[in-house]
Structure 1
Amino acid sequence: MKYFREILVSLSITLALLIFPAAAAALTLINMEMSADEFFRVGVQQLQRQNYQEAVKDFTAVIDLKADSAAAFSNRCLAYLQLEEYESAIADCSQAVELNSQNTESFLNRGLAYYRQGNYASAIADYNQVLKLKPIDFRAYYNRALAKSDLQHYQEALSDYNQTLSLMPIQDTFQLATVYNDRGTTRLMLNDNLGAIVDFSQSIYLNQQDYRTYFNRACANQRLSNYTAAIEDLTLALKLNPNYAEAYANRGIAYYQLGNEQQALLDLQKAANNFLFQENITAYQQTLDLLKQLKGEETVIA
């Protein structure tokens, strides 16, 4: 089985840290500071437009003019994060934290960079710092839950998902759907299949267009031998993603469990074809082996 998660990226921009020059400053200093402020404003606009390379250039210009700008380092960290340049992101967020230890966005984004590198312990340490400074930040709870889940600390992850759901704005329906889906996968890992189905169902209620959640609910139903329900969910997943190899494979297995060997073989062949197209050779070979096994059993039965 394959379960899915998505990381909630910190997209907050530290606009509140924009500082205008004091009126009493010398003329040359005012001009320099205003130039830095202008670069900062343009950099923020580039971030909002998802022009991350340009944002990096603008925040670099700010830093060249004003080396103690924690906001510029923090926002350039965010741009590097979006560009998947994680070492640069970590370096910038670390500098932002050194300049302003109260900036939760820097800790949050550095934590995400660590997470993307697979450094879950460091990510958790940064999320812990966010929660010390801002105990109601649901993003920190959510990202910490993901890291704890990857460390197989499922009970702790479940607690963080619960906190996330208690703090998230109810109008963020798509994000809520993602969190319910992720909590459901954690419940699966804890063998709470019924609880997982409840979470996946709530996720589907909030967002009916995510094929992965139907797949996950099908996995829970297959664990409970509810093969008919699993087939229904896998069919819905395939309507949303017709090339979903894993869904074909699992539906084939479910059909086989119900005695529909012909449909099982058809689905497994489709799964193998899609795995091959995706160049997932390991899954392709495993599916072929399963096909050979089932065909062999059919011959014996006949």
Structure 2
Amino acid sequence: MGIRAVSEGLASFVVVLLLASPVPAQDPKKDGYLRNIELCNGLNRTPFEARINGCTALIDAGADMTTTGLAIAYNNRGNAYAAERDYDRAILDFDSSIKLDPKYVKPFNNRGVAFLKKGEYDLAIGAFDHAIRLNPNYGEAFANRAETRLKKNDYDRASRDYDEAIRLAPNLAGVWNGRCWTRAVLGALKAALEDCNKAFQSDSGNAATYDSRGLVHLKMGQMSAAIDDYNSALRLDPKLASALYGRGLAELKQGNKAGGNADISAAKAIRGTIANEFKRYGVR
């Protein structure tokens, strides 16, 4: 099962916020600022290295920028570092953004995502808690906190966070699948199935959602439907350990010992803890 954490930048800068004082028209300095703003915003699918360079140029010109502009630049550079999996640098930038503007909510969420990616789940939850205190309607932060709680096997609270994320941002990527998986683990199978089917309305080609629905069917005792879903998941992600293991269990229950054992062995080779994970999900 895979759910995507949501980090946030800013769709576009407002130049008046960035520049501390007016720059004369047709001034090369102004043109350079505007170009760096575009790069830092990641307009037109700007490569991450170029985003970092654009944001760095803005940060280095700090005397010419407002405090708000600097906070945005640090946040956006942090997101670019995080996209390149340089999470330590990303966290330093999010820290700088927060120090400049403690009421700017996005770097709290983004710092939480970086901690989540590093496996530092308690720090991630603390960051998401702070984001939610600043903005109780922040659906992305609820979704990210839910994913982190899944990593900690805290399914009840993860489910409640997904409830809030869906209430606040029902079109957010991954939230319906996330709640489907969580409800499947908790045994609320009919509700889980409804959530997975809802997820397919927006993304019919997602291996994680097929994997989630496969777990629902497996726990419902619907082995043929489970195998169909796991087959679909594995066509999209052939090394998805949970789908291999789930398909193996379903095949064994249908009497296909050779196929079932082969899938289970392949799953264990990919992730040695997979059997214990399925026991935790209530499947043996």
- TM-score bracket for the superposition, by shorter chain length: 0.7 to 0.9
Q: Deviations over 1:272-301 (max 9, x none)?
A: 5x669xx738599x9xxxxxxxxxxxxxxx
Question: Structure 1 pair 256/208, CA: closer, same or farther in 2 (3 Å)?
Answer: same
Aligned to 1:164: 165
Aligned to 1:265: 258
User: Are the equivalent residues in 1 in contact too, given 2:10–2:76 (CA < 8 A)?
Assistant: no
Deviation at 1:32, TM superposition (A): 9.8
Q: Greater CA radius of gyration, 1 or 2?
A: 1
Question: Structure 1 pair 208/160, CA: closer, same or farther in 2 (3 Å)?
Answer: same
TM-score, length-scaled by structure 2: 0.79
Q: Supply the distance in 1 between the matched residues of 2:43 and 2:147 (Cα, whole angstroms).
A: 25
Aligned to 2:179: 183
Matched, 1:152 2:153: yes
Q: Deviations over 1:42-90 (max 9, x none)?
A: 4235465241111112221222221652222122111111111111111
Matched residues, percent identical?
24
Q: Supply the distance in 2 between the matched residues of 1:78 and 1:143 (Cα, whole angstroms).
A: 15
Aligned to 1:209: 205
- Secondary structure in structure 2 of the residue aligned to 1:103: coil
Once superposed, what is the RMSD of the aligned Cα atoms? 3.3
- Decide which of 53, 59, 62 is 2:58's aligned counterpart: 62
Q: Supply the distance in 2 between the matched residues of 1:144 and 1:34 (Cα, whole angstroms).
A: 40
Alignment: residue pair count: 268
Aligned to 2:100: 99
Q: Supply the distance in 1 between the matched residues of 2:211 and 2:75 (Cα, whole angstroms).
A: 38
Question: Unpaired segments of 5 or more residues in structure 2?
Answer: 276-284
Identify which range, 245-254 or 220-229, moves more after superposition: 245-254
Deviation at 1:266, TM superposition (A): 3.8
Q: Supply the distance in 2 between the matched residues of 1:244 and 1:158 (Cα, whole angstroms).
A: 23
Q: Supply the distance in 1 between the matched residues of 2:160 and 2:29 (Cα, whole angstroms).
A: 46
Aligned to 2:195: 199
Question: For residue 22 of structure 1, what is the amino acid of its counterpart?
Answer: S
Question: For residue 59 of structure 2, what is the amino acid of its counterpart?
Answer: I
Q: Supply the distance in 2 between the matched residues of 1:218 and 1:9 (Cα, whole angstroms).
A: 28
Question: Unpaired segments of 5 or more residues in structure 1?
Answer: 287-302
Question: Structure 1 pair 37/133, CA: closer, same or farther in 2 (3 Å)?
Answer: farther
Question: Which structure is richer in relative contact order (CA contacts within 8 A, separation 6 or more)?
Answer: 2
Q: Deviations over 1:95-136 (max 9, x none)?
A: 111111121122121121111112222222222222233222
Aligned to 1:8: 6
Map of 1:111-130 to 2, 5 A cutoff? 111-130=112-131
